[in-house]
Amino acid sequence: MLNVLIIGVGQCGNRILDAINKEAFGGSILSKYYGTQKFPSHVETLAINTAMNDLKELRFTKAKDRIHVPYLHGVGANRNIGKQCFEDNKELLLRSIEERGDFDVAFVIASSSGGTGSSFTPLLIEAMKERYKFSVYGIIVLPFREEGSIYLQNSIFCLKEIIAGSSDGNIIVDNQFLKHLGKDIKTAYDGINRTVAQRFLFLLKSLDSEMMMVTDLGDFKTVMSAGSKLATMGFGEGDKNVSVKAVIKHSLSHAGLLFELDPYKEANRAMIIIEGDKKYLNINDITTEVEKLSGEIGQIFKGVLLRNGEMPRVLTVLSIGASSELNKLFNIGIDAVMKEKERKEKVAEQNRGIKQKLEGLEPQY
């Protein structure tokens, strides 16, 4: 049995963590007290935030698992303030982790674009890697592209630090790409959070089980550490009329992924986990589909979980190589930085002008 730590930082990270707890405890409000977790592993969860109100909003995460870092009401999307706040509270945070025991693996979930999560997460991962022996992975959420220039610039600097950092890899989830999961922003958040939670539970289950063909934490690490240390997940589910072949294809398609990627061209390595009743899992079908992908990208780890009576479900983890969508994001982020800079210079120039014009003048009454 694996010992797993899941940390959510900032509002977005907290909410996704809460969605994971909701899934794991079965969904009813009181189940966090009485229900048993659906995880096969021993899991500890921790929600960290500078804003008390965000922590109060959580419904499925126990009070003892919520850590408030005192800083008024959030760090207002300013990553410099956030970084300082992290340094001031680093020991408090690491102590909260250590109080929860020793782990085999940890995940840190946050948005790349806000203040708290985006500034704490790269530093927290570094601190954990420095101090502990276990693997640490990030689950990093990208913003809707129309959220404004501060969010965009935060996002690219957070990603830059994540890529250069010592994490064992990071799964990216793109709000923009997954917008269709809700008809407005609130339902989109809920839909995205639930989707990430369900896939994450599937992933944990597969890392911690006796499989027919084994994939394990070591294989996951090999996939996640490839290339840019950024990865994403895909998912597909069948019924008795949908072949496992189509389900694998779906997990690699736009409809199945958490980030815009062409797996055949832009992925580096992959892990494919297939679950279901033996009668739906035609081994030739599986092999053909997996070979199609491995022919293009190289190493693929494959795992099969046999479940009596269950429809086929497929989870893919894809490490991201050269990606045109990432490139695009960095370009609009850089654009946002330049525009902010220009705006600042214009204001400074205006202020200098005002000062000059008023020099030697006093109000006359």
Per-residue binder mask for ligand GTP (CB under 6 A), 188-217, x = binder: -x--xx------------------------
Per-residue binder mask for ligand GTP (CB under 6 A), 159-188, x = binder: ----------------x-------------
Nearer to Mg ion, 11 or 112 (CB): 11
Q: Which of 5, 8, 15, 227 binds ligand GTP (CB under 6 A)?
A: 15
* Number of Cβ within a 10 Å radius of residue 198: 17
Q: Which of 137, 151, 157, 301 binds ligand GTP (CB under 6 A)?
A: 151
Taking Cα atoms as reference points, which of 360, 363, 318 lies closest to residue 220? 318
Q: Which of 7, 8, 11, 155 binds Mg ion (CB under 5 A)?
A: 11
Cα-based distances in Å from 204 to 42, 149, 361: 10, 35, 71
- Which one of the spans 50-58, 86-94, 274-282, 309-317 is the region binding ligand GTP (CB under 6 A)? 50-58
Distance of alpha carbon 278 from alpha carbon 312, whole angstroms:
9
Cα-based distances in Å from 75 to 10, 85, 196, 303: 10, 8, 25, 43
Tell me the backbone φ, ψ of residue 306, rounded to 5 degrees. Answer: -85, 130
Burial per residue of 112-141, b for 16 or more beta-carbon CB atoms within 10 angstroms, e otherwise: bbbbbbbbbbbbbbebbbeebebbbbbbbb
Name the binder of 192 from ligand GTP, Mg ion, none, CB < 5-8 A by kind. ligand GTP
* 126: contact with ligand GTP by CB under 6 A: no
Taking Cα atoms as reference points, which of 54, 47, 93 lies closest to residue 75? 54
* 113: contact with ligand GTP by CB under 6 A: yes
Tell me the backbone φ, ψ of residue 229, rounded to 5 degrees. Answer: 65, 20
Taking Cα atoms as reference points, which of 79, 160, 76, 110 lies closest to residue 7? 110
Taking Cα atoms as reference points, which of 251, 106, 216, 115 lies closest to residue 170? 106
Here the tokens at position 146 are 């129309």
Q: Which of 143, 234, 238, 333 binds ligand GTP (CB under 6 A)?
A: 143
* 74: contact with Mg ion by CB under 5 A: yes
Q: Which of 58, 77, 156, 270 binds ligand GTP (CB under 6 A)?
A: 77
Tell me the backbone φ, ψ of residue 271, rounded to 5 degrees. Answer: -130, 130
Q: Which of positions 13-72 make contact with Mg ion (CB under 5 A)? A: 51
Q: Which of 8, 10, 169, 238 binds ligand GTP (CB under 6 A)?
A: 10
Nearer to ligand GTP, 50 or 215 (CB): 50
Q: By the 8 A CB rule, do 43 and 7 touch?
A: no
The 8-class DSSP code of residue 179 comes to G
- Which one of the spans 90-98, 108-116, 220-228, 329-337 is the region binding ligand GTP (CB under 6 A)? 108-116
Name the binder of 141 from ligand GTP, Mg ion, none, CB < 5-8 A by kind. ligand GTP
Q: Which of 50, 135, 167, 319 binds ligand GTP (CB under 6 A)?
A: 50
Nearer to Mg ion, 113 or 167 (CB): 113
Name the binder of 135 from ligand GTP, Mg ion, none, CB < 5-8 A by kind. none
Nearer to ligand GTP, 77 or 226 (CB): 77
Q: Which of 26, 35, 40, 76 binds ligand GTP (CB under 6 A)?
A: 76
* 74: contact with ligand GTP by CB under 6 A: yes
Name the binder of 122 from Mg ion, ligand GTP, none, CB < 5-8 A by kind. none
Name the binder of 117 from Mg ion, ligand GTP, none, CB < 5-8 A by kind. ligand GTP
Helix locations, the chain, DSSP H: 10-25, 31-34, 52-56, 79-98, 116-131, 149-164, 185-207, 217-224, 244-251, 263-266, 283-297, 324-357
Which chain residues interact with Mg ion by CB under 5 A?
11, 51, 74
Which chain residues interact with ligand GTP by CB under 6 A?
10-12, 15, 50-51, 54, 74-77, 111, 113-118, 141, 143-144, 147, 151, 175, 189, 192-193
